[in-house]
Structure 1
């Protein structure tokens, strides 16, 4: 695998200098694999269905997060801001999006017209907000890029209020033993764009940061088939790799919804 400097440079080329969300493989301004439950995958798929799958992934996370009217919400890895704005359906007091790439923050800011929403440049392991700033924290298909998962866990616990909740969804290695084979099999791991974080280690980091009720639920059943069908139908000029489905079928990789809460009176 590439070293950290090379990985950082690659992500910057794709997400900063480039605009990954504009590629046909994503569509609609989102950058996620989608949640395809209820979609008929036997026939042709439309761009509208692709966008709907990405919206459904956000809605799944938001349902698990259960934001309440008046809550303060942080999205880590907010990209172009489409998902952060989707949280407005839950009537939060404010939404803040955090992204590592200044260009992404600029795109999100330019597209936003709601005064409750704002975007800031920063890293998942070094969140530029005070302690207890948020009631809810979400991250959608970004944690596979995190170079410092323990740091993200600590920062997530720090910026949440007591009783706050966190929800993360993305793809993780099913075990530490699976990680080397993922790096060999799937190009995004080979290049270092994605990192093969074992899901059990992610959960351990969240617990070590003081979060409780930490759970991981596999949702790959409703991700991999739809994504693979979308890639099969193509053409996608960037040559997206269908090895994700093969890795999932071999039990090396899965897509998870991870949730946790900050206990009342935790003092974290």
Structure 2
């Protein structure tokens, strides 16, 4: 089954449309280098001064951690769901030698910026880096089109994890793997959503959705994938993210509440993987 172009684009959530459209989150200093993720800080000295180089490396390292979990990529077909400015897709192409990387995003303005940012790479390797518009819930690709599906800090926006899981299972070839990294609640306790909305503006506005990590592993399993597992990356994410935020935001401002939400048991950062048998 292949979804036609006309039904591939459900209405974009207004908060997502604004944040990744006119607001262009990739321009914010907190997301240096065009990446848009919290970073993986395990190999960065947090006792030393942090600059843009360390921040960019943290974001690159998060992609590397996800790619490691997805297995060897040499000669394989890779799809990134929610590619943003395409920095992670370009890193994958340059460091992991895949046959090709397809970078998909639902937001047309993001894709326009991504194509501009990677114009040189696109001109050199037009068949190996492809930008495509599509939604996580309706991917415009044939069945078994990819060997690997990755998604880095995008699934917290997806309106329907079950549909994302079903589409991931559909586009993965047998033997393929999926690796997803982002933040979830640790369980389905009702208090999490209210507390996250109180502490964090992004949850209050609905940009980020408070859902348990088990909802994704269950969805992947229900979609027919096997070995669905969730591994906490919290020790490598939260302290570094807050340390970086401290350069830009005072302790009493809402962005600093990400660490507080984690410490109070309402939020954690996870790497979720599964296999298409």
The answer to whether TM tops 0.5 is yes
- Once the two structures are TM-superposed, the CA of residue 235 in structure 1 deviates from its matched residue by 5.0
Alignment of 1:53-72 (within 5 A): 53-72=58-77
What is the aligned-residue RMSD (CA, Å)? 1.6
Confirm or deny: 8 A CA contact 2:136 2:164 kept in the other structure: yes
Distance 2:102 2:266 in 1: 34
- State which drifts further: 94-103 or 63-72: 63-72
Q: Could you say which residue in structure 2 is the equivalent of 1:204?
A: 218
- Provide structure 1 residue ranges, at least 5 long, that are not aligned to the other structure: 264-268
- State which drifts further: 197-206 or 111-120: 111-120
- Once the two structures are TM-superposed, the CA of residue 234 in structure 1 deviates from its matched residue by 1.4
- Once the two structures are TM-superposed, the CA of residue 22 in structure 1 deviates from its matched residue by 1.2
Q: Mark the CA change 1:46 to 1:224 in structure 2 (over 3 Å): closer, same or farther.
A: same
- Once the two structures are TM-superposed, the CA of residue 183 in structure 1 deviates from its matched residue by 2.2
Distance 1:42 1:86 in 2: 27
TM-score, normalised by the number of residues in structure 1: 0.92
Distance 2:186 2:196 in 1: 10
Distance 1:77 1:109 in 2: 14
Q: Deviations over 1:63-83 (max 9, x none)?
A: 111133210000000000110
- Once the two structures are TM-superposed, the CA of residue 38 in structure 1 deviates from its matched residue by 2.5
Q: 2:265 aligns with which of 247, 251, 257?
A: 251
Q: Tell me, what secondary structure is at the counterpart of 1:242?
A: helix
Q: Could you say which residue in structure 1 is the equivalent of 2:24?
A: 19
Distance 2:101 2:43 in 1: 29
- Once the two structures are TM-superposed, the CA of residue 43 in structure 1 deviates from its matched residue by 3.5
Q: Could you say which residue in structure 2 is the equivalent of 1:81?
A: 86
Matched, 1:148 2:154: no
Q: Deviations over 1:72-98 (max 9, x none)?
A: 000000000110011111111111011
Which segments of structure 1 move beyond 3 Å, counting only runs of 4 or more? none
Q: Tell me, what secondary structure is at the counterpart of 1:251?
A: coil
Q: 1:126 aligns with which of 138, 143, 147?
A: 138
Confirm or deny: 8 A CA contact 1:168 1:259 kept in the other structure: yes
Q: Could you say which residue in structure 1 is the equivalent of 2:41?
A: 36
Q: 1:101 aligns with which of 107, 111, 120?
A: 107
Matched length = 257
Matched, 1:179 2:193: yes
Q: Deviations over 1:193-250 (max 9, x none)?
A: 10011111111111000010011000111100001011112159xx761111000001
Q: Deviations over 1:161-180 (max 9, x none)?
A: 01100000000011111233
TM-score, normalised by the number of residues in structure 2: 0.89
Q: Tell me, what secondary structure is at the counterpart of 2:83?
A: coil
- Once the two structures are TM-superposed, the CA of residue 132 in structure 1 deviates from its matched residue by 0.4
Q: Mark the CA change 1:240 to 1:48 in structure 2 (over 3 Å): closer, same or farther.
A: farther
Confirm or deny: 8 A CA contact 2:201 2:254 kept in the other structure: no
- State which drifts further: 143-152 or 176-185: 176-185
Q: Could you say which residue in structure 1 is the equivalent of 2:116?
A: 110
Confirm or deny: 8 A CA contact 2:26 2:35 kept in the other structure: yes
- Once the two structures are TM-superposed, the CA of residue 109 in structure 1 deviates from its matched residue by 1.4
Distance 2:194 2:176 in 1: 35
Q: Tell me, what secondary structure is at the counterpart of 2:219?
A: helix
Distance 2:205 2:257 in 1: 14
